[in-house]
Amino acid sequence: MGKDKLNNIEDFLTNDSFICYVFEQTSSLKKYWDDYFKCNPEKESLARNARQILLNEDDKPGISSTEKEELKQRILSTVMKVNSYK
């Protein structure tokens, strides 16, 4: 899992296990990450920031509603195409 490589926010943001931990908190994930932070207390603030980003807590609108709608129409039209081939 390469948890020794967790040196910046992006490392946490792209770590599958960490992503699951933020959203699921199953007992094995919780134990794994609790142990990790016990051994690496200096990583806790990085992890906290990464967690906020994953949970979208700063909630800044990164995408405009027009862009959102355009992307949605693009996705829906691809879905229609894929469906009609079947």
Partner 1 sequence: MLNFLKNIMKEQDENRMDCISVDAEVSQLLSLLVSGDVKAFSRLYDLHVNMLFNYGCRLTTDKELLKDCIHDVFIKIFSKREDLSEIANFKSYLFISLKNKLCDESRKRINYSDQAVEELNPVASENVEDDYINFEMDCVSNEKVKFLLNQLPPRQKEALTLYYIEEKKYEDICVLMDMNYQSVRNLIHRGILKLRSIAV
Among 27, 28, 66, 83, contact with partner 1 (rule: CB under 8 A): 83
Task: Name, in order, each residue with C-beta under 8 angstroms of 79's C-beta and a sequence gap of 6 or more.
Answer: none
Residue 74 makes contact with partner 1 by CB under 8 A? yes
Fill in the per-residue mask, 14 to 53: x = in contact with partner 1 (CB under 8 A), - = not in contact. Answer: x-x--xx-xxx----------------------------x
Closest approach of partner 1 to the CB of residue 58, in Å: 8
The runs of H, that is alpha helices, within 1-86 are 9-13, 16-24, 27-39, 44-54, 65-85
CA distance 12 to 51: 9
Counting residues that bind partner 1 (by CB under 8 A) gives 31
